[in-house]
Structure 1
Amino acid sequence: MADVLCTVKLRVPESLGVCHVAVGQKVYSFGGTKTDLYLNVHVFNTVSLKWTKVFPRDDTCFKDNREVPCMRWAHTGVVVDNVIYILGGRRLEFCINVLHAFDVDTHTWLHTEVSGTVPEARYFHSACVSGKVMYIYGGLTEHGGRTNDTYKLDTTTMVWSLTETRGTAPPASYGHTASIIGTKMFVFGCGSGNDRDHNTVRVLDTETNHWLTTPFQEPNSVAFAYNGELYTFGDRDTGGNRLPRRIRHLWKSSPETLSWKQVKPKGDGPFPMFGGSCCVVGDRVVVFGDDVFFGGGDFAYILDFSPSLKTLCQLAVLQHGLEQSELPHDIREELAAMTVTDDHTSTSRSKAVAERFLSSSWPVWRHF
């Protein structure tokens, strides 16, 4: 396949413990570890690379006399028909199991009434969606107990059910990610306290409810599905190095064979992250994470599988140091984002990245 690039690095409002959901060309960000009363909602435009806050804390926080959900972290969300469903999370001393629904067209919170077997309150679980069905797996419960149960919510009837699975279920897990391709759910990075579990991919066939297990080459827990294939990369430094070591490659596989091969993106990828997450937006993957081990703060990266002509032109401007004063304001803002100083090296990285990018084919890391 063609190569991949990281060209931009931008700070984000917050990434640790935040739920990110892609809708069209935008990524919605909910919550985090801040102590605000209400659940923060920010929107990232992946075209302009700009963040906006949806709700100031005023009368727009209310609809039909119902408050927006309380602030939380380590929750999950999926989108079905332009409605984002948020479940779980933790706020200070308690866990949450209430389902919330956010309408992306009107930017309002909707009243939800569910029935059936509702999942126990949890956080650091995973959520993914197949059609109109939301799947929840694992997580930590109120007092820190790990779980390995699977629930599903039919959003057409709003009925929860516990999935009775067969085969060898994964160990009780948290901090993992899950992706669905077709009828199979792939779980990466099972955090059971045993490092060997990080080297295993668990697969649940949602038609037969049967678990399968397959080994993997190295610890990984951030995963996504793109163009019918699975991609994953590690979110922690396993080399024992004192200096930060960037993530230099991805792994990809066909969901049928689970035969893995390395993909080496161009550009500087992220450092190992804690609580990493990612959203697929067209031919780009937006990766969020906190470079917590190296003091890097909250950042996001773009993995670009098919850079646009606009992106290529911007990189050419950076590579050759061309004059920018006559360019449109929004283009200058994006170029400024692409030339952010790297906190880990204290040097500007734009020209070197542009040179590596323009001398390669794709896909590519964009670091913002």
Structure 2
Amino acid sequence: MRWTVHLDGGPMRVNHAAVCIDNKIYSFGGYYSSEEYKDWEPIPVHVLNTATLRWSAVNYKKNDVVPFQRYGHTTVAYGDKVYMWGGRNNSVACETLSCFDTKTLEWSAPAVSGMVPFAKDGHSACVIRNKMYIFGGFEYLTDTYSQIVHCLDLETMNWTLMDPTGAIPSHRDFHTAVSVGDRMYIFGGRGDLNSPYNSQEEVYCSQIFYLDTVTEKWMALNPRGTWPEGRRSHSAWLHNGFMYIFGGFNGNTRTHFNDLYRYSFKDNYWQFLNVKGAVPCKRRRQACLIYEDKVYLFGGTSPCPHQNIRPTDNLDDDPEKLIDNSDLHVLDYAPTLKTLSILTVLEHNLEHSWLPHDILLDIRAMTLPNRISRPFNQSG
């Protein structure tokens, strides 16, 4: 396992949502601090070709149901379609379901029935069989954190309010959820000592919970090993029987993270991983998607020193002095000899103009910045 690629110039986005369909990664919405945020603009969509590592803007068809720009929403992939729910702009939160067809590049607003959730952001979403499950988030109608589970049947478009029993996770937002078989696993997130209300006395949960969607029962786990510190706005993904956790932020310790942990579902065990390569800087609100044996991490916001920021600045002491990222990192679980050889050539700045054309193309893909945005520094 190794971090193999670091490219700048992709979409500069924070609190966006993304999915992987075939070999392409689609990113929806989000914001960046230097932009004058226009609440009712159509949501931007970008796509990453994982073979070439090139980003492009999606010129989708405009119609009356194109969703407005937002952040803190969720997206899930179901076949060739992407279902987006929740999120907010600076004026309102959203409770409308939107569907993006990656084949026709068209938006639709499917008619839904049942118990539609209150508008919220910071919730989680995952797909189990033919249903999308959402948990938690911050509800703006009630001004409270949530611990409620809703599921949407993606065939009938019927919403159901679930009433699970067991060790129900506390009210929270900006946690992560992954699906394993019939279970939804929850990690992290931000709550409040006076939950469900937001009294600004934040708490951060480091326990793992799972919901058995067949028995509709929550279970709290007590893993062995070294637990990650509680956090929010981190990323989680699955690979070969493990859940991986990267990055995030703890408001009580005023800490941003760029650590990597994995949890074994089989052994109920946490492990810290020290991975070589160009490790991404500390950040939160990024996106991480896995395709085959590679993880693609992009965007988010960081306290890390960039150009024009003095190395003596301790930005972790001022976690609100943030810099939005336009970079792309690749974590390769099984780097080939070819990839490792290219990394050696680049690390030692070796002459490579004589190499075969296909290798030169790979070197170009791994080193040439994208042109969606250009890096600059902006606190926000």
Q: TM-score range by the shorter chain?
A: 0.7 to 0.9
1:300 to 328, 332, 336: 328
Structure 1 residue 337 displacement after superposition: 3.7
Cα pair distance change 1:12/1:338, threshold 3 Å: closer
**CA shift for structure 1 position 197:** 3.7
SS in 2 for 1:7: strand
Cα displacement (A) at 1:186: 1.0
Count of residue pairs brought into register by the alignment: 330
Q: Distance in 2 between matches of 1:335 and 1:285?
A: 14
Partner of 2:367: 336
Normalising by structure 2, what TM-score?
0.78
Choose the corresponding residue for 1:39, options 26, 36, 43: 43
**Structure 1 residues 318 and 190, CA gap change in structure 2 (3 angstroms):** same
> Normalising to structure 1: TM-score of the pair?
0.81
Q: What per-residue deviation string (whole Å, max 9, x for no partner) do you get for residues 251-299 of structure 1?
A: 2222244222222211232233222331111111122342332344213
| 1:190 equivalent in alignment to 2:189 | yes
RMSD of the TM alignment (CA)?
2.8
SS of residue in 2 equivalent to 1:315: helix
Q: Which residue of 2 aligns with 1:200?
A: 207
Aligned 1:1-368 pairs, distance under 5 A: 3-33=1-31, 34-35=37-38, 37-55=41-59, 60-62=61-63, 66-142=64-140, 144-193=143-192, 197-215=204-222, 216-220=227-231, 221-236=234-249, 247-248=258-259, 250-294=260-304, 295-298=322-325, 299-325=327-353, 327=357, 330-331=361-362, 333-337=364-368
Q: In percent, how many aligned pairs have the same letter?
A: 30
Q: CA deviation at 1:26?
A: 1.1
Aligned residue for 1:350? none
Cα distance in 1 between the residues matched to 2:299 and 2:187: 16
Structure 1 alignment gaps of length 5 or more: 345-368
C-alpha distance in structure 2 between counterparts of 1:205 and 1:46, whole Å? 33
Measured after TM superposition, the shift of residue 74 of structure 1 is 0.8
Counterparts of 1:78 and 1:311, CA distance in 2: 31
2:10–2:328: 8 Å Cα contact kept in structure 1?
Answer: yes
Q: Provide the rounded CA distance (Å) in 1 between the counterparts of 2:256 and 2:150.
A: 37
Please list every run of 5 or more consecutive structure 2 residues that lacks an aligned counterpart in the other structure.
32-36, 194-201, 305-321
3-state SS of the aligned residue for 1:192?
A: strand
Question: Hey, what's the Cα distance between the residues in 2 that align with 1:288 and 1:198?
Answer: 25
Would the aligned equivalents of 1:9 and 1:337 in 2 still touch at CA under 8 Å? yes
Name the amino acid aligned to 2:55: W
The one-letter amino acid of 1:226's match is: H
SS in 2 for 1:333: helix
Shift of 1:205: 1.1
CA distance in 2, matches of 1:181, 1:20: 19
Work out whether residues 219 and 234 of structure 1, in 8 Å CA contact, stay in contact via their aligned partners in 2: no
1:237/1:166 CA distance change after superposition, 3 Å: closer
* AA of the residue aligned to 1:167: G
Looking at structure 2, the residues matched to 251 and 202 of structure 1 have their Cα atoms a distance apart, in angstroms, of: 16
Question: What is the alpha-carbon distance in structure 2 between the residues aligned to residue 254 and residue 160 of structure 1?
Answer: 32
Cα offsets for 1:211-246 (capped at 9, x unmatched)? 1123544224422111222112341379969xx986
SS in 2 for 1:318: helix
Q: How far apart are 1:44 and its partner, in Å?
A: 0.8
Moved more, 3-12 or 270-279: 3-12
